Homo-oligomer: A and B are copies of this chain.
């Protein structure tokens, strides 16, 4: 095995045009194939084939509308640091299982450092977070400590990948 693989069969390397297509789709996921083709200077047919391949091979993980959180009553963002009691594989697996069904949880990373996990959670308001905190977070298995960071200002959110 030479190159890292995802679940897809195998990944061919990306040339200049592929990367340009990815850049355009990252900037605007609803660009028409015709628009992308013009922007990257290939025919519509070629652009279509390449774009298809980029999706099929997993270079594009998905295309999603970013919904304004405030519009759907999720205006409050909270970051949470979690420290586990014991650093055993079972502890990690348990926490990840417990957390996987939590819809309010937008992101969850296992990290090295003074925390074991960092969580990103969206709720309606601080009251809702308090409820969630009492009902789910402090009830998580094997948790020694929970550190809550209320987000006062989202300076930068979901910036495009620089490539």
Contact = CB atoms under 8 A, between A and B. Distances in A.
A62 B66 contact: yes
Contact of A113 (B25, B106, B149): B149
Contact of A22 (B65, B106, B112, B151): B65
Contact of A153 (B63, B66, B71, B110): B110
Interface string A105-140: 111111111110110001000000000000000000
A9 interface: no
Given A61-B66, A162-B103, A147 B113 contact: yes
Contact of A158 (B14, B106, B151): B106
Given A109-B79, A110-B153, A161 B29 contact: no
A27 interface: yes
A67 B161 contact: yes
A105 B159 contact: yes
A1 interface: no
B26 A111 contact: no
Given A109-B155, A112-B149, A122-B162, 9 more contacts: A4-B70, A28-B63, A29-B65, A59-B68, A60-B65, A72-B161, A107-B154, A108-B156, A117-B155
28 contacts: A19-B72, A22-B65, A28-B63, A28-B64, A29-B29, A29-B62, A30-B30, A58-B68, A59-B68, A61-B66, A64-B160, A72-B163, A100-B155, A105-B159, A107-B156, A107-B158, A108-B154, A108-B155, A108-B156, A110-B152, A110-B153, A110-B155, A112-B149, A112-B152, A114-B149, A115-B149, A122-B162, A158-B158
